Structure 1
């Protein structure tokens, strides 16, 4: 697939701190990619360089095949960054229309008000909006030019449940139309549900890259969860094939294994007292924490 974003050997150094360290990354057109990492990992710096807001100390960045600072490229992208700001003296509808005027083929005002859940606030002063509403307004502004590539930096902070649900429905719909979406978020359940690909960055370097399923299975492994009877002990479970860890919560037990097929077979053959059996992988948050701990 054609690359919408290409970074080759990119580093960014601020005084004595290397925020991004020789990072190479290619993001295909029409994919949804979540950049994850702890605070200070280099995610925001990476996005800033892709957007052309900061120049790399070394390496090259290509956005839609061109220079991120090129006006023709910027006309084809949209960005919703962490810092929330509004234009003083303008109403919500006026603010959106101002941004629409910057683009050759803007989306319709009514559509932008609808997907940002700001229809009732159209004639309110933008500066009077709550923090969550201002965040939704920034989303509308990011979509104003019907962008081919959309950057979402911690997009749902401060949004209520209804607005967050509508936000992700809109993002999924745009992804379905072939838009490339790059997001950062601390809500890992959101990344798990919407992203095609997870890229984990720590200390300016990529430490994991794959689908949500790959990241979870390779990092946390698989587990068998069940409600154990009184005769089941930790020692007995550890003697079973492939068991790497055992966690209890009351009488519910999680048995981690690198071969859950063999584990289930052994549990049945040895007649363990158990019920409500489930086989699953660990969550993305578990995988993320394990990756960061391994890298530090």
Structure 2
């Protein structure tokens, strides 16, 4: 009988409070649960002890809620994904044969599972443009690409750059191209009050090649050659990201050829993004 009276009292108190509160500021739902010592009605908790004393406290679950800021910053974002390129080279042309004598599309094919992309964004900022649903995102970071060749005979000679297929007893062969990159995107946030919300971003990025090298492993010994290999110094890309609650995906596709001569290959990256927003 006492439990029924307590439940009725709690329900009456809650309904009275809800009637006096603006519905737009309400976050607790009127869900009733009881136990031997407590009665919970939404955010209202009634605690009973053996002396029939009653302690009434309010609780609220706001772990997944936040107040959006007009300008927010996110430091040290990490991307983990895969690199590849769309090869549109005409290998029968004089330019391609001068750059890579005997080269074929099959010869420059990559190992998909081993060609990886790792990006470290030093910071990104999000600027509110319209009700926190439309935002401008921008930042700066390092874009690291490792292209592992399926044909491990690929050999880059420098000064001038010529690609030949004359390596022997190679167990690992990759070309690394690293960029300092500035991304700029429009962000559409469908749930601006949630920490792990839903939305997407789309835009462009500009990267400058600051390091490139070929790394091979021959008879168990590693050999590394640093050169630009006539790689195009600037990389312009279409970029995007997709927010699916706790999961964030990213992708990029270059607008321009990654080589300044000889080959016609446009790189792209896809993967998962480790970020607060």
Shorter-chain TM-score: which interval? under 0.3
Task: State which structure, 1 or 2, has the greater radius of gyration over its C-alpha atoms.
Answer: 2
Q: Identify the structure with the greater helix proportion.
A: 1
Q: Identify the structure with the greater strand proportion.
A: 2
The alignment's TM-score, normalised by the length of structure 2, stands at 0.24
Using CA pairs under 8 Å that are at least 6 residues apart, name the structure with larger relative contact order, 1 or 2.
1
